[in-house]
Amino acid sequence: MTLSHIATSPSRSNILRPLTAAFSCTLPLRRPISSAANGDSTTLTIETSVPFTAHNIEEPSRSVETTPKELLTFFRDMALMRRMEIAADSLYKAKLIRGFCHLYDGQEAVAVGMEAAITKKDAIITAYRDHCIFLGRGGTLLEVFAELMGRQAGCSRGKGGSMHFYKKEFGFYGGHGIVGAQVPLGCGLAFAQKYSKDEAVSFAMYGDGAANQGQLFEALNISALWDLPAILVCENNHYGMGTAEWRAAKSPAYYKRGDYVPGLKVDGMDALAVKQACKFAKEHALKNGPIILEMDTYRYHGHSMSDPGSTYRTRDEISGVRQERDPIERIRKLILSHDIATEKDLKDTEKEVRKEVDEAIAKAKSNARYA
């Protein structure tokens, strides 16, 4: 398949469509806020970038309530995740990280939006692109870099590496290297939650490349039979390794794949949309059983560090998504448009984040390797 065909295929226009659609609706970034005094507790109501698309269920409201504090937290957390992944890229190229390494930059809105809607009682299990999910669950930078470099202070004591992060006490059950294998495990977590009457849910995350796995449908079937509080989250970054979704799936509408199970398509580059969808999905799952969320997102790096990421997609496509849909820039614009912080304040935050990452790397390098 030639690059020219890929660049002009329907897939590329779909990747860029969400923000274009948002602008075509002429939705202003500034929204009415409550009459409460300005400060961290001020309530802002902001409309999602594009509407949700629902299957066998009524979609949630596009109007999302947030606060200045939450928006600043989103900005800082995503900036930290982005800087962490860029640093991991450099460490890998310096041969301080070995083996497989899959980076999450571009997809940060999924991690922070999901965390904003749930608690640590809820469980998350994911595939091998797990660094930022782990950090969002409460993991530390030292645990991340020590694990990546095979040091004892790592979250898996340096024995798991990039693909096998874990923190049970914070409801994070991995990091799994076998494509799609975490989905049945996630449904098992949901079974345990229902059996124990925990009033909590499990998020089983997978990519579009795993969406055709038979085990996913088997697990979904029994989850639906038993009304388990399982939320299947397809992080659709549009490429399974180097294969575009339209070449691998006859029907890439992954939120409809459950047939009898409801589904929701979400702009996964919009942290507030992710938060709204996950809150909605949790309420549904606790009352009615499983639901599928398809997060329309994008990864800037290749599939893994061994993949340059530019042989099956054009550089123009990557830069186009960065310019039009970047999740950090979206939050930056909201913060500035509501006069929550200045450009200098946000630059200072980014400097602080860079320093934190550098300090964590230095500590990780000085830590002993696993025995």
The tens digit of pLDDT for each residue in 216-261 reads 999 999 999 999 999 999 999 999 999 999 999 999 999 999 999 9
Position 1 confidence tier, pLDDT thresholds 50, 70, 90 = very low
CA distance 131 to 129: 6
Query: What is 92-108 written as a DSSP string?
Result: HHTTSS-S-----TT-H
Q: Is residue 102 domain-resident? A: yes
Residue 293 contacts residue 283 (beta carbons within 8 Å): no
At residue 22 the predicted structure's pLDDT band, cuts being 50, 70 and 90, is: very low
Query: CA 233, 15, 131 angle in degrees (round to 5)?
Result: 45
Burial 328-363 (b: 16+ CB within 10 A, else e): bebbbebbeebebbeeeebeebbeebeeebeebbeb
366 within domain boundaries:
no
Answering whether pTM is above 0.85, one says yes
The answer to whether 265 and 255 are in contact (CB under 8 A) is yes
* Structural domain contains residue 25: no
Tell me how long the chain is. 371
In a domain, 123, yes or no: yes
Asked if 271 contacts 78 with a C-beta cutoff of 8 angstroms, the reply is: yes
The answer as to whether 31 is a domain residue is no
34 part of a folded domain: no
Q: How many domains does the chain have?
A: 1
CATH code, domain carrying 123: 3.40.50.970
Residues β-bridged to residue 236 = 296
Residue 322 confidence (pLDDT) above 90: yes
Query: What are the structure tokens assigned to 319, written together?
Result: 């830069």
**Helix or strand (DSSP H, E) at 235:** strand 230-236
Pairing of strands 230-236, 291-296: parallel
- Which domain does 82 fall in, by range? 45-361
- Is residue 93 one of the residues assigned to a domain? yes
In this prediction, residue 40 carries a pLDDT of: 73
